[in-house]
Structure 1
Amino acid sequence: MDLLKKLSLKVGLILLLGLTITSTNWAQERGNEEPRTSPNATVSQTIGTTDITFTYGRPAVNNREIFGELVPYGDVWRTGANESTALVVSKDVTIEGNKLKAGTYSLYTIPGKDKWTIIINTKLSWGTQYNKSKDLFRFTVEPQKADYRERMMFYFEEVTNKKATVVLHWDETKVPFTIKV
């Protein structure tokens, strides 16, 4: 793919995400200029020629007990703060063996002590307006003990031209899963 086509694709994805946010009233109406308690973040990674982007709210620990308390075990969690976490993929991918077409999706989780369920859903929404009927698929992964992280974040590890490990990391827990192109 030449540089102009690749640039056009990236601009198109940005516009698509913007239109999706606008058309679903996904963006928070704030009414003031104060910073968010849980600021938004975006992380993006190219795997081979496929762009993967997560946009999410970054809550802080703030001396709270996170998993099992603030975020109860066994309940669907929006996986961040404010709006649902958005996942944008520029081309078809496979996530932990599940095929996902290029597009914009939401990511929810069900945390557990020994396993987490990751949910890929088609509805972007504010807060906990989760709709199970919009699930595309679910898969389970094992959480890992990790160094302390005050603010939740997503990042990519072990990136190759064919796959990468996505890591959700907050408090002393990280939850990895693999995306293949």
Structure 2
Amino acid sequence: MVTTTNLQAQEFPGLDKSPMDIALYPGREPGKVVRVIYSRPQLKGRALADLAPAGKVWRTGANENTEITFYQDVNFGGKDISAGTYSLFTIPGERTWTVILNKNLNQWGAYTYDEAADVARIEVPAASDANSLEPFSIAFKEAEDGVHMVMGWDKTRVAVPITM
């Protein structure tokens, strides 16, 4: 007896307009300290101030909120943080940004953001760079005192110190 299967063509979606990415420290080697999973919106001719308005809680990326996992206890911008996974939100400003770790996970954007679930809020200076970044980006840069989580979009740069 012969069995045949009739496979119908499957429709697959195209690439996401804000693709997901991962930033790791210290990279793809053993002994990870921190991992950030986020989506990377593009400027596409729009103003940063329209996409991440000053004074308003922003999901720090696109789509689902950004998640940051610490694999060990760290000091994040002057606050002691226990190992675990947190949502990462920001409140952009002209001179400083508020960076927020929140214990509520699996949220879409910042629509259900609950300040009562904040684990830490820190203020960091906002700087300007001569080079414009089309996609929102997160990277880690080694520093004397540990590492800085650097967030950049357009000409804005924000760095959060992390020590182990």
Please tell me the TM-score bracket, short chain as reference: 0.7 to 0.9
Q: Percent identity between the aligned chains?
A: 34
Q: 2:132 aligns with which of 129, 148, 151?
A: 148
Structure 1 partner of 2:7:
none
The 5-angstrom pairing of residues 63-142 of structure 1 reads: 63-67=45-49, 69-124=50-105, 125-128=107-110, 129-142=112-125
Structure 1 partner of 2:163:
180
Q: 1:35 aligns with which of 7, 15, 21?
A: 15
The SS at the match of 1:142 is strand
Residues 63 and 141 from structure 1, CA distance in 2 versus in 1: closer, same or farther, beyond 3 angstroms? same
Aligned residues: 149
**How far 1:33 sits from its partner (Å)?**
2.1
The SS at the match of 2:51 is coil
Q: Distance in 1 between matches of 2:45 and 2:66?
A: 23
Unpaired runs of 5+ residues, structure 2, are 1-10
Q: Which structure: larger Rg?
A: 2
Letter in 1 for 2:103: T
**Higher strand fraction (1 or 2):** 2
Pair 1:53-2:35 in alignment? yes
1:87-135: CA deviation from partner (whole Å, max 9, x where unpaired): 0011100011101101000110000001110001011211122111110
The SS at the match of 1:144 is strand
Unpaired runs of 5+ residues, structure 1, are 1-30
The SS at the match of 1:133 is helix
**How far 1:46 sits from its partner (Å)?**
2.7
Q: Distance in 2 between matches of 1:127 and 1:51?
A: 25
1:39-95: CA deviation from partner (whole Å, max 9, x where unpaired): 00001113994520000010000000112x222110000000001110001110001
Normalised TM-score (structure 2): 0.85
Letter in 2 for 1:62: K
Q: 2:147 aligns with which of 164, 168, 175?
A: 164
